């Protein structure tokens, strides 16, 4: 998606005849987030949806504002509505 690192193979946004596409694959609900430094905030199996889902929505909105097409794939569980909104 990006011409910047760590992978520099992408072309610049706005390049003629180039469409940026991102695929989001999930196997479950948002239960982990690197945003939390204290592990007790998101123990495995604990769904802390409001904080992490808000962050997910913000990331999806930012990606789409940059004219990147998003496809989402829900393998097992997960918030189907959140993924539809992202896509």
% the chain with pLDDT above 70: 78
User: What was the pLDDT predicted at 84?
Assistant: 87
Question: For the whole model, what pTM was predicted?
Answer: 0.68
Distances (CA, A) of 48 to 7, 35, 57, 75, 79: 31, 12, 14, 20, 12
User: What was the pLDDT predicted at 23?
Assistant: 92
Residues 8-18: tens digit of each pLDDT: 788 888 889 98
Q: Counting beta carbons within 10 angstroms of the beta carbon of residue 65, is it exposed (0 to 12), middle (13 to 18) or buried (19 or more)?
A: exposed
C-alpha 32: how far from its chain's center? 13
Q: Counting beta carbons within 10 angstroms of the beta carbon of residue 12, is it exposed (0 to 12), middle (13 to 18) or buried (19 or more)?
A: exposed
- Averaged pLDDT, groups of 10, the chain, 87 residues long: 77 86 83 57 52 84 90 84 86
């Amino acid at each position: 998606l990006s011409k910047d690192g760590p992978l520099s193979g992408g072309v610049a946004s706005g390049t003629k005849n180039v469409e940026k596409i991102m695929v989001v694959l999930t196997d479950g609900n948002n239960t982990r987030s690197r945003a939390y430094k204290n592990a007790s905030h998101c123990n495995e199996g604990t769904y802390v949806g409001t904080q992490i889902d808000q962050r997910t929505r913000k990331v999806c909105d930012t990606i789409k504002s940059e004219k990147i097409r998003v496809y989402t794939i829900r393998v097992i569980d997960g918030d189907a509505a959140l993924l539809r909104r992202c896509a």
